[in-house]
Amino acid sequence: MRSMWSLRPALLAFSLSLLAGEADACTRVVYLGANDDVITARSMDWKEDVATNLWVFPRGMQRNGEVGRNSIEWTAKYGSVIASGYDISTTDGLNEKGLSANVLWLVESEYPQRGNGKPGLAISLWAQYVLDNFATVDEAVKALEREPYTLVTDKLPGTDRTATLHLSMSDASGDSAIVEYIGGKQVIHHGRQYQVMTNSPKFDHQLALNTYWQQIGGTVMLPGTNRASDRFARAKFYINAIPKSEDPVEALASVFSVIRNASVPFGITTPEEPNISSTRWRTVADHKRKLYFFESALTPNTFWVDLNKVDFSQETGKVLKLDLGKDQRNVFAGDALAQFTPSQPFAFLGTGD
């Protein structure tokens, strides 16, 4: 039996996490399976309808950082399928090269002050910037390490609450990265081992908490609350405990089971932690087959988009929208690409100048 002293650092981190306030909760997990299968799943937990729709963005779209003067500018190299938030931001998505990007809440985030001469990027575009510009996690990390922009946050629509997010990326090789801003400094955790991300505390503390639960052993006991640290421990254990099936259908079913296990049941509230929220929807990205699945908590089935069938070309590709309806109640079945309709792209939320 391990001594209590050997567990002391993790126990301390675990105790501190119980004292920390929670924020709106989400979970992201990456499955590394047989035959080089890589599948990324995430849940979106929010206190209200996040007004999500699905969008197809082709290559060649001209973008800027939406922070007024000295905004970063770029042309999209790669097309993507994304899930929006309030149709003012990209919260999640998969690009045509098999790179996924997900933003989750992190209350500890502190972003740099502007005025350093670097062009600005509104936080609403953070995930889209990655999807537009990079084919792999390694390529994205090398670019972000050079800090080509200053990330600029702002208030959430209709609130006095500032958006505080961290970013995860994964690709078809199984590579992963977590990007956070702590104390105004960018921190990147890069490697295949970074399969799971939730919310508070910051990522290095999440890793310490997971060390505690690994030493106990998931078959002995796992934490069961809807706190971020508990969801992290469950997701980390189950994503590596499920069989590495050679049948892609079984692999997808296993990954869906894991992200559902880490979800917060719809309607659940925690009076003493008012910001812990119900899971609104889940996405699953099959990087190898380039399938992007969507599952709403309020509809009875799961549907998907096959990116291999999407026209992402700059010449003939169109911006397409799938209207998911209020609370994502619209029901779709199978490959829903045919139900997308041409649309004007939404305007990303900016800060002006």
Region of residue 314 (phi > 0: left; psi between -120 and 50: alpha; otherwise: beta):
alpha
Q: Any idea which residue has 């309020």 for tokens?
A: 298
Q: Is the Cβ–Cβ distance between 259 and 281 less than 8 Å?
A: no
Reduced to 3 states (helix: H, G, I; strand: E, B; else coil), residue 132 is: helix
C-alpha closest to that of 26 among 317, 257, 311, 283: 283
Amino acid residing at 298: L
How far apart are alpha carbons 40 and 31 in whole angstroms? 6
Q: What positions carry a catalytic annotation?
A: 26
**At CB < 8 A and 24+ separation, what contacts does 205-212 make?**
205/13, 205/16, 205/17, 206/232, 208/9, 208/10, 208/13, 209/10, 209/13, 209/14, 209/17, 209/233, 210/236, 211/9, 211/10, 212/7, 212/10, 212/11, 212/13, 212/14
| Positive/negative CA dihedral, 101, 60, 148, 140 | positive
How far apart are alpha carbons 16 and 332 in whole angstroms? 43
CB atoms within 10 A of CB 351: 18
CB atoms within 10 A of CB 160: 6
How far apart are alpha carbons 69 and 90 in whole angstroms? 22
